[in-house]
Amino acid sequence: MLVIKKLLLIVSVGFLCSCSNLGVKPWERDQLADPRMELQANEIDKSFDDHIYFSKEASSGGRGSAGGGCGCN
């Protein structure tokens, strides 16, 4: 029974310590604002994906693409 209490204490302290470092510190934000951290850093790939998205969704606007849902701009 003593072993279970010690194990429970260790696990609960571990859970409490794991929540002590949430968020980004102000001095770490410059690393996250780096252009290399974007999901799609290549501008050509981004515009190509936007064109396909707007063509399939049968919508226009938002990023400058025009036309119908058929993909024939």
- Would you kindly state where each structural domain of the chain is located, as residue ranges? 1-60
Provide the pLDDT confidence category of residue 8 given band limits of 50, 70 and 90.
very high
Provide the pLDDT confidence category of residue 9 given band limits of 50, 70 and 90.
very high
Q: How far apart are CA 24 and CA 21, in angstroms?
A: 9
Q: Stretch 40-50: mean pLDDT, rounded?
A: 78
Q: Would the pTM count as exceeding 0.75?
A: no
Token couple for 21: 């470092």
- The answer, yes or no, to whether residue 14 has pLDDT greater than 70, is yes
pLDDT value at residue 49: 80
Token couple for 61: 């606007």
pLDDT value at residue 56: 73
